[in-house]
């Protein structure tokens, strides 16, 4: 009888990420805050316009650095407990900001509590799913699980836009806080690990002989977090993650405002469409990296993303809604690809025993990249009045990353080369 427990874990992890991906809907919340600042009044958000992205930028940073203790908790106590803690923290953060328009309350609530909660939930979903499947499925499984995080704005953005319009921003935050506690904490109970000595059924298959030979030549590693920091390869991947994630988060955090110029009140649709590109990029890139190797696919992603950033510089000056949506979708696709390739790369190079902490350390690049690029983008926008310069800077960084990508090791490609030789 076929064992479907691994599929259940994948579905639960994807469901958790579908909730946690609310982070990518910040641009919808931001527009409501901006409108309140401009309108003024006693109950308005009395913030500086240049600081409007601060809760989102801090949430990215806290999310990334909390991935290290969250990953350690996942490795030590299991995914159920880690994901449950994540649901509670995110709920607390939303319930806190639901009762205040104060800048520091939002920085602590959204930037601190929500950011930390995202890390605990996110750190639990992917490792639990990966352990049920063989190495040649790592990219696909990781892509499916993290696709939930990317796809979330496709339903959260229109839902949030509707709720904010009908009930107000603070009431919407309260509704999300209650929903998170129920959904994330409930699904966390389905995140179970394989029993000791478990081997995926595909390991025993006699079909696809070449794949089995590649698997046999694939090095099995058990890199500890302490030794990882001494490796050049870790810092090369860290820098690449910083560039790829930072460029994508910069666009995601501003897409609603960019689309509003040409789409008006329907700007939330651009956020939803970008989310579809984000999610599909994770699944497709994961599959392609399983087949063609991590390095080759990552290089292609960086090249395409750089060209898109230069295209976005033009789109930011255009009034065409179709062009804005097209560029947003493709940038979302390439950004999403990073989130599937890097965890698979980490598993290939450093193994699974310490995956939670190891990937958590690598994931700090995602947060630092997002924090730096989001702040830089908002500062340049405040000074110049457009996003053009931000996109040009991001495009230049991505081209630099492309050169660095070509120097990476890739165990999958090396195994195939050895087999052909």
Q: Say what the pLDDT of residue 413 is.
A: 60
* Between 189 and 389, residue with greater pLDDT: 189
pLDDT digits (tens, 9 = 90+) for 368-379: 888 888 788 878
pLDDT digits (tens, 9 = 90+) for 280-313: 888 888 888 888 888 889 999 999 989 988 887 7
Interatomic CA distance for residues 259 and 321, integer angstroms: 7
7 has a pLDDT exceeding 90: no
Exposure string (b/e) for 387-412, b if CB count within 10 Å is 16 or more?
A: bbbbbebbbebbbebbeebeebebbb
Q: Say what the pLDDT of residue 317 is.
A: 63
What is the enclosing helix (H) or strand (E) of 116?
helix 115-130
Read off the pLDDT band of 138 (50, 70, 90): confident
For the chain, the average pLDDT equals 82
Indicate whether 201 belongs to any domain.
no
pLDDT digits (tens, 9 = 90+) for 22-45: 887 787 788 889 888 888 877 788
Tokens of 288: 């392609």
Read off the pLDDT band of 1 (50, 70, 90): very low
Cβ 286 vs Cβ 139: under 8 Å: yes
Indicate whether 397 belongs to any domain.
yes
Cβ 417 vs Cβ 217: under 8 Å: no
pLDDT digits (tens, 9 = 90+) for 84-129: 999 999 999 999 999 999 999 999 999 999 999 999 998 888 888 8
Q: What percent of the chain has pLDDT over 70?
A: 85
Tokens of 126: 């992917």
Q: What percent of the chain has pLDDT over 90?
A: 25
Side-chain half-sphere CA neighbours of 279 within 13 A: 22
Q: Say what the pLDDT of residue 139 is.
A: 77
Helices and strands of the chain, counted as H and E runs: 19, 0
Q: Say what the pLDDT of residue 193 is.
A: 85
Q: Say what the pLDDT of residue 416 is.
A: 53
Read off the pLDDT band of 420 (50, 70, 90): very low
Indicate whether 204 belongs to any domain.
no
Specify burial of residue 271 (Cβ count, 10 A radius: 0-12, 13-18, 19+). buried
Give the orientation angle of helix 321-350 with respect to helix 355-384, to 10 degrees: 150
* Between 366 and 383, residue with greater pLDDT: 366
Provide the residue range defining the domain that includes 337. 5-195+209-420
Cβ 337 vs Cβ 284: under 8 Å: yes
Interatomic CA distance for residues 356 and 345, integer angstroms: 13
Cβ 257 vs Cβ 324: under 8 Å: no
Cβ 22 vs Cβ 159: under 8 Å: no
Which ranges constitute the DSSP H helices of 131-189? 138-151, 153-167, 169-188
pLDDT digits (tens, 9 = 90+) for 199-210: 776 554 444 444
Side-chain half-sphere CA neighbours of 267 within 13 A: 22
Rg (CA), the chain: 21
pLDDT digits (tens, 9 = 90+) for 144-179: 888 888 788 788 878 888 888 888 899 999 999 999
Q: Say what the pLDDT of residue 316 is.
A: 61
Tokens of 312: 């976005």
Tokens of 66: 């909390």
* Between 399 and 274, residue with greater pLDDT: 399
Q: How many residues does the chain have?
A: 421
Indicate whether 202 belongs to any domain.
no
Indicate whether 200 belongs to any domain.
no
Q: Say what the pLDDT of residue 267 is.
A: 64
Indicate whether 43 belongs to any domain.
yes
Average confidence (pLDDT) over 8-14: 92
Cβ 332 vs Cβ 248: under 8 Å: yes
What is the enclosing helix (H) or strand (E) of 100?
none
Q: Say what the pLDDT of residue 3 is.
A: 58
Interatomic CA distance for residues 242 and 247, integer angstroms: 8
CATH code, 235: 1.20.1250.20
Indicate whether 59 belongs to any domain.
yes
414 has a pLDDT exceeding 70: no
pLDDT digits (tens, 9 = 90+) for 309-359: 888 777 666 556 667 677 777 888 888 888 888 888 888 888 877 887 888
**pTM greater than 0.85:** no
Cβ 286 vs Cβ 361: under 8 Å: no
Q: Say what the pLDDT of residue 207 is.
A: 45
18 has a pLDDT exceeding 60: yes
**Residue among 221, 247, 246 nearest 234 (CA):** 221
Specify burial of residue 421 (Cβ count, 10 A radius: 0-12, 13-18, 19+). exposed
Cβ 360 vs Cβ 67: under 8 Å: yes
- Count up the domains in the chain and report the number: 1
Cβ neighbours of residue 227 under 8 Å, at least 6 residues apart?
A: none
**Separation in Å, CA 20 to CA 152, 354, 420:** 8, 24, 43
Indicate whether 390 belongs to any domain.
yes
Tell me the torsion sign for CA atoms 6, 360, 409, 289. Answer: positive
């Amino acid at each position: 009888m076929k064992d479907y427990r691994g599929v259940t874990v994948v579905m639960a992890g994807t469901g958790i990420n579908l909730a946690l991906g609310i982070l990518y809907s910040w641009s919808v919340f931001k527009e409501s805050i901006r409108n309140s600042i401009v309108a003024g009044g006693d109950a308005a958000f009395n913030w500086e316009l240049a600081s409007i992205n601060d809760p989102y930028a801090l949430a990215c940073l806290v999310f990334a650095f909390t991935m290290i203790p969250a990953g350690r908790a996942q490795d030590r106590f299991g995914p159920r407990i880690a994901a449950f803690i994540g649901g509670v923290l995110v709920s607390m953060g939303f319930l806190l900001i639901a009762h205040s328009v104060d800048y520091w309350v939002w920085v602590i609530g959204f930037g601190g509590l929500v950011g930390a909660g995202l890390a605990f939930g996110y750190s639990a979903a992917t490792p639990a799913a990966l352990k049920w499947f063989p190495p040649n499925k790592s990219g696909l499984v990781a892509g499916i699980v993290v696709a939930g995080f990317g796809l979330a704005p496709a339903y959260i953005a229109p839902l949030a836009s509707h709720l904010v319009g009908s009930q107000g921003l603070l009431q919407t935050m309260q509704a999300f806080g209650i929903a998170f506690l129920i959904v994330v904490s409930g699904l966390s109970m389905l995140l179970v690990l394989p029993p000791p000595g478990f081997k995926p059924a595909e390991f025993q298959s006699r079909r696809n002989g070449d794949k089995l030979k590649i698997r046999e030549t694939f090095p099995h590693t058990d890199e500890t977090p302490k030794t990882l920091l001494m490796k050049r390869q870790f810092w090369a991947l860290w820098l690449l993650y910083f560039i790829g994630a930072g460029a994508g988060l910069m666009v995601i955090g501003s897409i609603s405002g960019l689309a509003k110029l040409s789409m008006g009140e329907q700007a939330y649709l651009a956020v939803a469409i970008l989310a579809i590109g984000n999610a599909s990029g994770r699944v497709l890139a994961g599959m392609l990296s399983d087949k063609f190797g991590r390095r080759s696919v990552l290089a292609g992603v960086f090249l395409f993303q750089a060209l898109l950033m230069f295209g976005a510089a033009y789109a930011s000056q255009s009034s065409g809604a179709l062009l804005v949506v097209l560029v947003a979708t493709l940038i979302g696709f390439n950004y999403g690809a990073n989130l599937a390739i890097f965890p698979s790369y980490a598993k290939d190079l450093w193994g699974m025993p310490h995956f939670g902490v190891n990937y958590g350390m690598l994931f700090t690049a995602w947060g630092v990249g997002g924090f730096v690029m989001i702040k830089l983008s908002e500062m340049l926008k405040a000074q110049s009045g457009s996003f053009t310069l931000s996109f040009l800077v991001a495009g230049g960084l991505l081209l630099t990353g492309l050169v660095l990508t070509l120097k990476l090791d890739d165990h999958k490609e090396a195994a195939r080369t050895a087999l052909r030789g």
